[in-house]
Amino acid sequence: MSTIFSKIIAKEIPSQMVFQDDRVTAFKDINPSAPVHILIVPNKEIPTIDDVTPEDEAVLGHMLIVAKQIAREQGIAENGYRLIINCRSDGGQEVYHLHMHLLGGRRLGPMLAQKD
């Protein structure tokens, strides 16, 4: 089922888009958790990282190349950044269109909370 991200990719609703080509779209997160918080999304509707198939291998690799490029453009490559893909409910996924978070611009702290 389509999500709001398909509408953003199709430019049917506005976003702060930073990159788009025939495979991937990247736009600023509406509720940023860090000074730089960008979502990198395959144009193809794939619900979760658990739904990818071998035919998605190229687009998944492309998402990483695009992330690296955007990190450079946003000026966070040198100090470093974090890439996160949440999967389903325990992973904290809210939007069921696969996406990778690119976060940086400050020290991000430990990867996970120490306790629930």
Catalytic residue status for 62: no
Residue of 37, 62, 97, 99 with catalytic role: 99
Nearer Cβ to ligand 5GP, position 71 or 101? 101
Minimum distance from residue 28 beta carbon to ligand 5GP (Å): 6
Binding site for ligand 5GP (CB under 6 A): 4, 15, 27-31, 39, 86, 92-95
Nearer Cβ to ligand 5GP, position 9 or 71? 9
Residue 104 neighbours by CB distance under 10 Å: 22
Active site residues per annotation: 99
